[in-house]
Structures are given as C-alpha cells and as structure tokens.
Amino acid sequence: MRVPKAVWGLVKETARHLLRRPVVGLVAVARDPQGRVVLIRRGDTGEWCLPGGTLEWGETLRTMLPRELMEEAGVELLEAGELLGVYSGPERDPRFHAVTMVVAAKVSAPLRPPMNPLEILEVRAFEPGTLPKSLSHGMTDVLERALSGTTHWE
C-alpha cells in the first residue's frame, strides 16, 4: 500500500514536533543501608552513572522512582528523599534533550541483577571516597553537587 505524499509529509512534520520535545527523566542519588552510593555501569558507554530513567506515559515521578531503581540496580526503594536538582542542559545527554530531576533515595542492598544486562553491565555501591572520577551522561557535576548539599537547577 502506498502512502500519499501529503499524508507522509504530515506524519513527518508531526513527528518532528513531537520528537523535538525534551524527555522527562529522574535519577537517584541512592544510598544503601551502609551509606554507600549505588551506581550502575552502562552498556552503551561502559561508564558509571546514577540509576534512573525516563518517565513513561501515565506514570508519575513517584511511581517511576521505585520501578527504575529495581529495573536498573536491583534495589528496593526504602525512602524517597528530597529534590536535589533539576538539569536541563541539552548537551548533557548525547541521545536526546532531557530534563532530569535528581532526588535522594534510601535503598536496600541489591536484591537481584539488573533487568536488562545489555543496558546495565554492573551495579556497585561505592564509599563516598571511592566514587569514580567521571560519570556518564553528564552526571559528574550532578553527583558532586548532590553530595556537597548544593541544590541546583538550570
């Protein structure tokens, strides 16, 4: 079946506008019962990153947080903490323009491995003094500010 050129043009124009909208995301500065910071090692970059993800249709940030923590890090959310920052710089994520909220979270020790082993290669809890120097997807300054107690928004 051939799609008329006018219809195809309309579909492309609609997609262009829809896809040029920022994506809403949430990451957690997740601490285990020993106070260590839980990070994930991403499959696409091989670098460490804060666990989190993007908001799904019909979901709230409060329902997204425990889902993403379990999917990516295999940890259970014990307590959602305060909002630590909002980051909206389009250069932060190479995949798309994301508006990312950062929240504090108390989490369990890992209960199971990540759901997608191609996306998440490893999960590890780091003592604050042993954190990686650089994090993936523009998260280095996000974590530094969060750990210093500085709230940030852009």
Average pLDDT over residues 135-146: 94
- Determine the pLDDT at residue 5: 62
Nearest to 141 by CA among 129, 128, 152: 152
Average pLDDT over residues 37-46: 95
In the CATH hierarchy, which top-level class contains the domain 22-153?
A: alpha beta
- Determine the pLDDT at residue 22: 87
- Determine the pLDDT at residue 97: 84
Residue 70 or residue 92, greater confidence? 70
- Determine the pLDDT at residue 6: 64
- Determine the pLDDT at residue 136: 92
Contacts of 118 (CB under 8 A, 6+ apart): 43
- Determine the pLDDT at residue 94: 78
Q: What are the angstrom distances between the C-alpha of 79 and each of 30, 43, 61, 92, 106?
A: 10, 28, 14, 27, 5
Mean pLDDT estimate for the chain:
90
